[in-house]
Amino acid sequence: MRGRRRIEAEQRLVGEGWSLFDGHHVLMRPGRMTPLELQLSDFRALLRSYSRRAIARPELSPVLRHLL
């Protein structure tokens, strides 16, 4: 059994409304963490990815390589 049917059979589906399909809500219960832990880790990853340091890093890499 694959995909949605397996998740439903394992009763891991948390939400179904289309309003929740925005990339910021957990819609299934992960196997090794709680839905809240998954959501918080996703939020922390977003903060790291879109921080000023992460955005500036590609621009500064050539400069730093030249100086070092």
Q: Does residue 68 carry a pLDDT above 60?
A: no
Q: Does residue 60 carry a pLDDT above 70?
A: no
pTM: 0.60
Most confident of 15-19, 32-36, 51-55, 57-61: 32-36
Q: What pLDDT sits at residue 2?
A: 80
Q: What is the pLDDT of residues 6-50, one digit of tens each?
A: 888 888 888 777 888 888 788 888 888 998 899 999 999 988 888
> What SS3 string covers 4-61?
HHHHHHCCCECCCCHHHCCCCCCCECCCCCCHHHHHHHHHHHHHHHCCHHHHHHHHHH
